[in-house]
């Protein structure tokens, strides 16, 4: 791919960091923005940002996509070839506690970007969406399923971003690739996600907070694979919704805990909590479309990915031990 100037929103976030890093390694000029919010411990975001700032072809600005005025200054200052919108409020359970901020960031923030793209005649956006939209649908989840009944404010806000993006594709001939991610994990991952929490709790001998009986299963996908798929989606596609997931049989949380126990050489203590009705029992991606349109398939299986994640935790334990696992700001 010819060198481009690309805006990556949410660049200090988990997927944004890895996507920006791979773009920088390919020689692109990346402008990264993030509001550095405190939904989870900001020290992780600072660590990721520091990795990116070692590249000469990277610029970072603390900007919130909800702030149209600040975004306008940014769009006036750089000639972007494409926008990768990875800035989002994530987390199903916290979206029930604070739904307003989810709609503001995930829906209104996306609208701000689309409006400025229209103004500057920028035709390409890659938009992060979620497998949470498939709640209640038959598995494996295919992109053409009718996802019209989201069961959390998080999923509803992502659906709003998807349909708004279609409107701008239809009205202004924008080329928009919507990627529905399936349970992303890896080194420097989100501390509100199960894998980061399980590793830390098991290593420290603290009880795991397990919502449900552990039989719920996820299509875990390694962050490097997700970032590669995100970059491949920069190609001209028109308007497409594409799953990026592991694509194999989903793995139960019980099995996940056993694998982490083996890697750490420690047994887990489990504190069982009631299952949250906004959660999904199982996710499983049909990734045939990603293979056809993007030439993409995941390369890192759960065992290799978990080992890399545990190794990163152990190598960075001197500061990761102090990371808070509390959600919300």
* Active site residue ranges: 154
Assigned token pair, 275: 């299952």
Q: Is 44:6 a contact under the CB 8 Å cutoff?
A: no
């Amino acid at each position: 791919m010819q060198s481009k100037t690309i805006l990556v929103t949410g660049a200090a976030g988990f997927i944004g960091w890895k996507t920006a890093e791979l773009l920088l390694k390919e020689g692109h000029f990346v402008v990264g923005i993030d509001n550095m919010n405190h939904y989870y411990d900001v020290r992780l975001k600072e660590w990721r940002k520091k990795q990116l700032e070692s590249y000469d072809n990277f610029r970072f600005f603390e900007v919130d996509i909800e702030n149209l005025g600040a975004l306008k200054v940014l769009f006036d200052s750089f000639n972007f070839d494409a926008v990768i919108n990875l800035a989002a409020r994530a987390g199903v359970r916290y979206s029930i506690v604070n739904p307003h901020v989810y709609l503001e960031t995930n829906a209104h923030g996306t609208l701000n970007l689309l409006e400025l793209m229209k103004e500057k005649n920028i035709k390409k956006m890659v938009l992060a969406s979620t497998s949470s939209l498939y709640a209640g649908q038959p598995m494996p989840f295919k992109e053409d399923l009718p996802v019209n009944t989201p069961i959390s404010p998080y999923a509803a806000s992502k659906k709003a971003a998807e349909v708004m993006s279609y409107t701008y594709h239809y009205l202004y001939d924008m080329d928009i690739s919507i990627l529905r991610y399936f349970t992303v994990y890896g080194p420097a991952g989100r501390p509100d996600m199960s894998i980061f929490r399980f590793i830390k709790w098991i290593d420290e001998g603290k009880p795991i907070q397990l919502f449900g009986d552990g039989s719920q299963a996820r299509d875990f996908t390694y962050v490097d694979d997700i970032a590669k798929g995100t970059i491949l989606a920069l190609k001209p596609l028109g308007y497409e919704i594409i799953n990026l997931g592991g694509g194999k049989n989903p793995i139960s949380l019980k099995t996940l805990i056993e694998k982490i126990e083996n890697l750490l050489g420690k047994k887990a203590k489990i504190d069982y909590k009631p299952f949250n009705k906004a959660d999904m029992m199982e996710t499983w991606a049909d990734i045939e479309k990603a293979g056809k349109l993007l030439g993409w398939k995941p390369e890192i299986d759960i065992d290799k990915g978990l080992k890399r994640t545990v190794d990163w935790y152990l190598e960075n334990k001197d500061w990761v031990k102090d990371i808070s696992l509390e959600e919300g700001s």
